[in-house]
Structure formats: C-alpha cells, structure tokens
C-alpha cells in the first residue's frame, strides 16, 4: 500500500457532513500544528494554520479546502421505526437507495442504517424518480419507540459508509468523499512540504465548513483572515465517461468559469505561466457548480480567487473514482504557485 494511498484512505473514511465537521477539523488541526506558527479557528468552526513570512510587505495568501461531505439528517421517525430524511448537500436520488450509512446520535452512538429500495416485484411498471424525502432509511427497529430507545431523534446525522480501495491497476482510487477530502490532504501535504521553505507571503492554509450547503464557511473565513488572494482547493465532477469536460488522469484543472465565478485574466495568466514553466499537466475546465472561490471573491473589498483542483467520476455518492497522479500534479502546481506569490506578483494580478 503506497504512502499516498494510505493518507487518502485515512482522510476519506472520516465521516463529517456539513455542520458536523469535528472529525475532519480534529484531524486537520493535528496534522497542521507541527508545520505552522499558529492555528486559528473562525466562528463557524473553520480552522487554519498560519505560516508567517519574514518580509514586511508580504501579501496574505489563503488556501482553503472544505471539510464537509454530503449526507442526510433525520427529519421524522415513522411509527414503524423507519426514518425519513432531508438531504445535506446535493444528491442524485438514483444513487441513494440500497446503500449503507452510519447514523450518529446526540450521545455519539454509531448506528448502522441502510437506505431502502423497492424490489422490482413491487414496482409493477409505475416507478418514477423518487424524492429524497420519500426514501426509506432502515435500521431494523421494530417501531418508533424502539428507535428512540437507541437515542435516535430528529436532527441526527446520517453519513455514507464506504471503504476506500485501489483499482486493479493501482492507478485509481474508489470510495467516498474525495469532494473534498482531496482539499484536506492538499493542505496538509502543502504545509509539510513547505515547512522549511521561506515564503514571500503569509500563508493561511486550512479548511472551511458548510461548503456543500451554500459556501457558508468561506464567507466567514475570508472576512476573518482578510487575504489578498484566495485559492480554493476542491474536487469537481468529471464528465469524461459522459462525453463532457473533465477527464480523470489528465491532470489538475484550470477552472476558468463556473456559474458563481469568473477567473480574472491576470490571475489566469499567472496560473498558466506557472503550470507551463513547471511542466505541470493541466486541463481546462468549465464548471457547472460552484466552489468556495465563488463566495470568497465577493467578500471584503473583493478578493482575487480561483480553484486549484482535480476531477473525479461520480462525486456526491458512495463510490467516486479518481486518479492518484492527478493529486500529485495538483500538489506540485499549488506548491509552485505559493512559492512565487510575492507582492510584485500580486500587484500584477491586481493591475486592472
């Protein structure tokens, strides 16, 4: 088992949905502390390590993953002991049925739950796309009182249960939550690799909360730390097997557009020049969803922002597929960007 895969397995098998990010926050804080001057937390639970520069005019550069993955929250306990839920983050209803989950009670108890699927014998040609609110979650309880006796209450969280494994050719990984444990691992690897490197900027690297429910944590973190430049590190959906943009294995992404963010021309030039000078494998990407860059660039007086990322197949489900090499390209790219970002470079990016 490779060192990189071991790290991926560790971070992706953590379970933490929006608003309940403590397992990832604790992991990240522990990994960051040896490599930064201090660790700070924002008011919603985002956590960032600060690596100071020796230069008086050093710009502040923020690198932000997000801790949360998609999941569910109990909305009702039915009389028969089954559960109904609300979705936390975006789900395709077709991926939800017949899967394993872990339910966490207020007391911290971990309870196995599965999502129900109607057998073909009962469908009788009347099947239609289900609403998330109609999907049955079943822990094998005999009735509502039995479920409540185990401490289950509305508001408890239900999180995908999935083992992270390697593909047969050892090039790809399969499992949950690469969106966005990719970013968490990017941050910890960045800080470790740059621990002995003097930087021309003050590096603020860590992770936000509640990205999957509206980019909420990025607004808070950007306001608190007031960076001059913001890099989201995030995973985007690959469209390669559907004949669309974003191919697994083709390198890091130059994400030039999404519905909430336009890449500034001078920042785009900086990204492309850096990638080409360093021999980074990259691909152009037009996003259909958003990242924390979309929230951060509108904060304070406006913060030049972009996303450093990779793509993965079948995200927001129990089983995502992605390339080990893409992570390595993205990590090398991010390190080169951070090492080059001095005040003069920032001034050029912001010369409108």
Nearest to 299 by CA among 200, 199, 212, 232: 232
Angle between helices 324-340 and 3-12 (to 10 degrees): 90
Interstrand relation of 305-312 and 229-237 (parallel, antiparallel or unpaired) = parallel
Interstrand relation of 157-160 and 137-138 (parallel, antiparallel or unpaired) = unpaired
Residues 182 and 193 in one domain: yes
Tell me: the pLDDT tens digits for 13-42?
999 999 999 999 999 999 999 999 999 999
pLDDT of residue 123: 61
Could you list the residue range(s) of the whole structural domain that residue 8 is in? 3-69+176-349
Q: What is the pLDDT along the chain (352 residues), one digit of tens a residue?
A: 589 999 999 999 999 999 999 999 999 999 999 999 999 999 999 999 999 999 989 999 999 999 999 999 999 999 999 999 999 999 999 999 999 999 999 999 999 999 997 666 556 665 667 889 999 999 999 999 999 999 999 999 999 999 999 999 999 999 999 999 999 999 999 999 999 999 999 999 999 999 999 999 999 999 999 999 999 999 999 999 998 999 999 999 999 999 999 999 999 999 999 999 999 999 999 999 999 999 999 999 999 999 999 999 999 999 999 999 999 999 999 999 999 999 999 999 999 8
Residues 60 and 207 in one domain: yes
C-alpha 289/C-alpha 295 separation (Å) is 12
* CATH at residue 249: 3.40.630.10
Q: How many CA atoms lie within 13 A of 325 on its CB side?
A: 11
Residues 59 and 203 in one domain: yes
- Among candidate residues 128, 160, 192, the one where a domain is terminated: 160
Beta bridge partners of 234: 309
Residues 194 and 341 in one domain: yes
Residues 149 and 286 in one domain: no
Residue 94 lies in a domain: yes
Residues 183 and 57 in one domain: yes
Residues 156 and 202 in one domain: no
C-alpha 219/C-alpha 112 separation (Å) is 35
Structure-block tokens of residue 145: 């009182």
Structure-block tokens of residue 27: 């992991």
Residue 234 lies in a domain: yes
- Among candidate residues 105, 129, 160, the one where a domain is terminated: 160
Q: Quote the Cα angle for 258-213-203, to 5°.
A: 70
State the alpha helices, DSSP H only, in 43-127: 120-123
Residue 167 lies in a domain: no
- 3-state SS class at 10: helix
Counted domains in the chain: 2
pLDDT of residue 117: 78
Residue 168 lies in a domain: no
CB proximity list for 305: less than 8 A, separation 6 or greater:
229, 230, 231, 232, 261, 293, 294, 296, 297
Residues 92 and 16 in one domain: no
Residues 217 and 202 in one domain: yes
**CA-to-CA separations, 103 to 34, 79, 223, in angstroms, rounded:** 33, 18, 34
Residues 186 and 324 in one domain: yes
Residue 135 lies in a domain: yes
Catalytic annotation present for 276: no
Structure-block tokens of residue 65: 């993953």
* CATH at residue 143: 2.40.30.40
pLDDT of residue 127: 60
Residue 32 lies in a domain: yes
pTM of the model as a whole: 0.95
Residues 230 and 92 in one domain: no
Residue 165 lies in a domain: no
Structure-block tokens of residue 79: 């009389």
Annotated catalytic residue within 211, 212, 276, 329: 211
pLDDT of residue 126: 57
- Among candidate residues 107, 130, 160, the one where a domain is terminated: 160
Tell me: the pLDDT tens digits for 270-289?
999 999 999 999 999 999 99
Residue 171 lies in a domain: no
Residues 19 and 77 in one domain: no
């Amino acid at each position: 088992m490779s060192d990189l895969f071991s790290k991926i397995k560790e971070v992706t098998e953590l379970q933490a949905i929006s608003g309940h990010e403590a397992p990832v926050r604790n992991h990240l804080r522990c990994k960051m502390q040896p490599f930064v001057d201090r660790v700070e937390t924002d008011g919603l639970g985002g956590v960032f390590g600060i690596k100071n520069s020796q230069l008086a005019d050093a710009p502040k550069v923020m690198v932000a993953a997000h801790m949360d993955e998609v999941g569910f929250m109990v909305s009702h306990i039915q009389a028969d002991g089954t559960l109904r839920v609300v979705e936390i983050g975006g789900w395709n209803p077709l991926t939800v049925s017949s899967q394993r989950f872990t339910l966490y009670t207020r007391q911290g108890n971990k309870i196995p739950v599965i999502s129900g699927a109607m057998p073909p014998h009962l469908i009788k040609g009347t099947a239609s796309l289900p609403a998330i609110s109609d999907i049955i979650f079943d822990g094998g309880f005999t009735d509502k009182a039995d479920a409540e006796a185990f401490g289950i209450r509305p508001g408890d969280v239900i999180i995908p249960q999935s083992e992270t494994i390697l593909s047969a050719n050892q090039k790809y990984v399969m499992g949950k939550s690469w969106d966005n444990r990719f970013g968490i691992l990017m941050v910890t690897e960045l800080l470790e690799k740059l621990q002995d490197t003097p930087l021309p900027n003050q590096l603020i690297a860590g992770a936000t909360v509640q990205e999957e429910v509206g980019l909420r944590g990025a607004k808070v973190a950007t306001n608190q730390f007031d960076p001059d430049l913001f890099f989201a590190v995030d995973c985007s959906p690959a469209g390669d097997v559907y004949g669309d943009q974003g191919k697994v294995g083709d390198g890091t992404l130059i994400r030039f557009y999404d519905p909430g963010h336009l890449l500034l021309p001078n920042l785009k030039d900086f990204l492309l020049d850096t990638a080409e000078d360093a021999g980074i494998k990259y691909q152009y990407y037009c996003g259909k969803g958003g990242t924390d860059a979309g929230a951060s660039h509108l904060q304070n007086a406006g913060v030049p922002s972009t996303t450093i990322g990779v793509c993965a197949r079948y995200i927001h489900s129990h089983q995502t597929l992605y390339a080990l090499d893409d992570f390595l390209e993205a990590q090398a790219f991010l390190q080169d960007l951070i090492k080059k970002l001095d005040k003069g470079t920032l001034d050029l990016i912001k010369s409108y």
